[in-house]
A = this chain, B = another copy of it.
Amino acid sequence: MAKQEKDLSVLFYDTLKDIYYAEKQILRALPKMAKAAQAEELRNAFLEHREQTQGHVERLDQVFELIDKPARGKTCDAINGIIAEGTEIGEDFKDTEALDPGLLAAAQAVEHYEISRYGTLKTWAGQLGLTKVVPLLEATLQEEKKTDDLLSKLAQSVNKKAAA
């Protein structure tokens, strides 16, 4: 393996550990967000997304297996920061009409972080010739984008109530 390729594969593995950690933190955060949510449709969306996130973790397990590396997480300051902001909003706006809009905003920040990471990882997997890995990352990327679209739609209806 050329030096350059080795560098990129190290970065690929590092970033894989980053999103693996992030997905596990999201798995822990979603039930709390569902519990906090006021609107039933939002609560359901968070619970459904938790199921989906479980599937994303399993796909990452497959990716680690395909590149023959141990499945490990690496502390991701970015997702910790995003989740911490969501938790703060949950506390500051508890029992107010702005709670659901705030939770939705936090969830969309999470989705966008994931969209950027999976997009990057998919590009790198292609460049590294990891042909079996690409469709796994692509599948999750599409699901994250769909979830973000769904949350955008919910933001229109849930927030309308808040501003009414």
Contact = CB atoms under 8 A, between A and B. Distances in A.
Nearest to A105: B120
A60 interface: no
Nearest to A161: B4
Contacts of A108: 116, 119-120
A143 interface: no
Contacts of A81: 76-82
Nearest to A88: B77
- Quickly give the copy total for this chain: 2
Interface in A1-19: 2-5, 7-8, 10-11, 14-15, 18
On chain A, which size bracket covers the interface? 35 or more
Interface stretch (A29-37, A44-52, A94-102, A133-141): A94-102
Contacts of A162: 4-5, 7-8, 127
Contact of A109 (B111, B116, B128, B164): B116
A77 to B, nearest CB: 3
Contacts of A101: 8, 11, 124
Interface string A109-151: 1011101110110011001100000000000000000000000
Nearest to A155: B123
A8 B92 CA distance: 12
Nearest to A86: B78
Interface of A: 2-5, 7-8, 10-11, 14-15, 18, 76-82, 84-85, 89, 92-93, 96-98, 101-102, 104-105, 108-109, 111-113, 115-117, 119-120, 123-124, 127-128, 152, 155-156, 159-164
